[in-house]
Amino acid sequence: MNAPSFRNWKSVQDEVLRRIHAREWKPGELIPNEADLAEEFGCARSTVNRALRSLAESGLLDRRRKAGTRVAAQPVAKATLDIAVIRHEVEGRGSKYGYQLLTRELTVPPARVCGAMQTPASDALLHVRALHLADDAPYAVEDRWINIGVVPQAHDEDFATISANEWLLKYAPYTHGEIAFSAVQVAEDDADILGVAPQSAVFAIDRLTWDKDASVTKVRLLFTPGYQLRTSL
Amino acid sequence: MNAPSFRNWKSVQDEVLRRIHAREWKPGELIPNEADLAEEFGCARSTVNRALRSLAESGLLDRRRKAGTRVAAQPVAKATLDIAVIRHEVEGRGSKYGYQLLTRELTVPPARVCGAMQTPASDALLHVRALHLADDAPYAVEDRWINIGVVPQAHDEDFATISANEWLLKYAPYTHGEIAFSAVQVAEDDADILGVAPQSAVFAIDRLTWDKDASVTKVRLLFTPGYQLRTSL
């Protein structure tokens, strides 16, 4: 009671989360009301309210105006992934980063690309392919399309020494995006570049980013076998 | 100025985030001080402080006591993934969910399993294998070890009609965990169960959860080809 650690809503949230995870408060169960919790935690009722609202937003609590607050019957766990620039990811693992530009050309993309990017079918986009290395070994191959209508400065960048992955972070605006993770069987040309057998299972990250209504860039990253994306729960 | 949308820290945070993503405030650049921002947004300085602190915690801003606040030179994007019970994931896609228990046995696990779970090498754990289906087609195969020292009730559950994936969410406590995503070439037995060619590339989710110092469960889920884990940025 009156523990200083419960003075702010984050610490109240942590304690509520602990009780849910420890199954002290079980899925579907009614939890004490805000006034009782405020008394127990020795904090303001508004602090408890802030913590419970936040947990309700993330789907762990189910709040009904008159029926009170219950632990969600089917709580959804959230995992947060850091999507870093590849150079920093490699350096963060203690490896030496390397980069090789493979191709860079202004060209009209295939239908699946201009379809996803919602660019006119006849518009040329900048197509950049590059290899990222860790300790001189292939780490990931990047296949990227850049909408030069939105990022005209890309015209003047040859991507010979800086990857589009890193350059865009500095110069391209974006408002939102989509990311997808999957496993793919690598085609022969990418297999050659990655130095693995064709049809090897590789981890793929597909990303499409937007600046309001206009697509900025679409990229597929294929990682050498053994790559894992990890986080804590 | 004085826009009602800037009265709370979340809306201030959204606007600061927008300026960072739109590159109005570029990576590495010094941003206006709190007093100036509070005046511009027509809110309390403490509200601006709360918003900036939150963005600094997530790595987008770099705050120095005397040098002011800069946009991080290398902002890290965060992606949040919902880790739902497989039944809800399947039903959420509008498919009919199905479940088949494959094997359930109390057995001493191989070294890599008791090593990861930090259980004594001679302790038997509950090993459950099951198939999840979507519209009667294989969706994912679950291979799971349960520490019955921590979850003794699992002894009395036959997992014939409810998956361990769903049962544990209801009955097993946990304080923290680790999750990893990767691409694997599927071995012959799992390929048979999933109805795919051996060596196909499949998406793997490995999860290990803990209740304080004791491991609760270790699971590997292998999904049929074509599976994608998606989220927005």
User: What are the φ and ψ backbone dihedral angles of B168, each rounded to 5 degrees?
Assistant: -65, -35
The pLDDT value given to residue B75: 63
What is the SS3 assignment for B211? Answer: strand
Calculate how close chain A gets to B103, using CA atoms only, in Å: 25
CB-based contacts of B101, cutoff 8 Å, min separation 6: B128, B129, B130, B158, B159, B160
Asked if the C-beta of A54 comes within 8 angstroms of chain B's C-beta atoms, the answer is no
Q: What CATH number was assigned to the domain covering residues B4-71?
A: 1.10.10.10
Q: What angle do CA B112, B114, B119 make, to 5 degrees?
A: 160
pLDDT over 70 at A57, yes or no: yes
The pLDDT value given to residue B62: 87
pLDDT over 90 at A199, yes or no: yes
Helix (H) or strand (E) holding B136: none
Residues of chain B positioned with their CB less than 8 A from the CB of A83: 76-79, 233
Going by pLDDT thresholds of 50, 70 and 90, the confidence category of residue A110 is very high
Q: Provide ipTM, 2 decimals.
A: 0.80
User: Are the folds of A4-71 and A86-223 the same?
Assistant: no
**Tokens, residue A116:** 């996803």
Q: List beta partners, residue A68.
A: A64
Helices B45-57, B9-21: axis angle to 10 degrees equals: 50
**CB–CB contact A172 B23 (8 Å):** yes
**CB–CB contact A183 B231 (8 Å):** no
Residues of chain B positioned with their CB less than 8 A from the CB of A70: none
What is the SS3 assignment for B38? Answer: helix
For residue B174, give the nearest of A21, A203, A230 by CB distance: A21
A-chain residue closest to B227, CA distance? A182
Residue type, B54: S
Asked if the C-beta of B198 comes within 8 angstroms of chain A's C-beta atoms, the answer is no
Per-residue model confidence as pLDDT tens digits over A125-183: 999 999 999 999 999 999 999 999 999 989 889 999 999 998 888 778 778 889 999 99
Going by pLDDT thresholds of 50, 70 and 90, the confidence category of residue B117 is very high
pLDDT over 80 at A6, yes or no: no
Asked if the C-beta of B21 comes within 8 angstroms of chain A's C-beta atoms, the answer is yes
CB-based contacts of A91, cutoff 8 Å, min separation 6: A97
Do the Cβ atoms of B207 and B179 come closer than 8 Å? yes
For residue B173, give the nearest of A23, A170, A211 by CB distance: A23
Going by pLDDT thresholds of 50, 70 and 90, the confidence category of residue B74 is low
pLDDT over 60 at B4, yes or no: no
Asked if the C-beta of B230 comes within 8 angstroms of chain A's C-beta atoms, the answer is yes
CB atoms within 10 A of CB B110: 10
**CB–CB contact A81 B82 (8 Å):** no
What is the SS3 assignment for B91? Answer: helix
**Tokens, residue B69:** 């606040």
**B86-223 has CATH 3.40.1410.10 classification:** yes
pLDDT over 60 at A84, yes or no: yes
User: What mean pLDDT comes out for the span B67-95?
Assistant: 84
In a 10 Å sphere around its CB, with 0-12 CB exposed, 13-18 middle and 19+ buried, how is residue A98 labelled?
A: middle
Residues of chain B positioned with their CB less than 8 A from the CB of A169: 27, 74-75
For chain A, the average pLDDT equals 89
Rounded to a whole number of angstroms, the CA Rg of chain A reads 24
Do the Cβ atoms of A227 and A138 come closer than 8 Å? no
| Cα separation values, A147 from A9, A101, A122, A167, A220, Å | 43, 19, 13, 14, 15
Going by pLDDT thresholds of 50, 70 and 90, the confidence category of residue A4 is very low
Residue bearing tokens 């989509």: A178
Do the Cβ atoms of B25 and B32 come closer than 8 Å? no
Do the Cβ atoms of A72 and A27 come closer than 8 Å? yes
Extents of the domains making up chain A = 4-71, 86-223
Going by pLDDT thresholds of 50, 70 and 90, the confidence category of residue B72 is confident
Do the Cβ atoms of A34 and A48 come closer than 8 Å? yes
Asked if the C-beta of A161 comes within 8 angstroms of chain B's C-beta atoms, the answer is no
* pLDDT-wise least confident of A217-226, B67-76, B96-105: B67-76
How far is residue B134 CA from its own chain's centroid?
Answer: 22
B-chain residue closest to A17, CA distance? B175
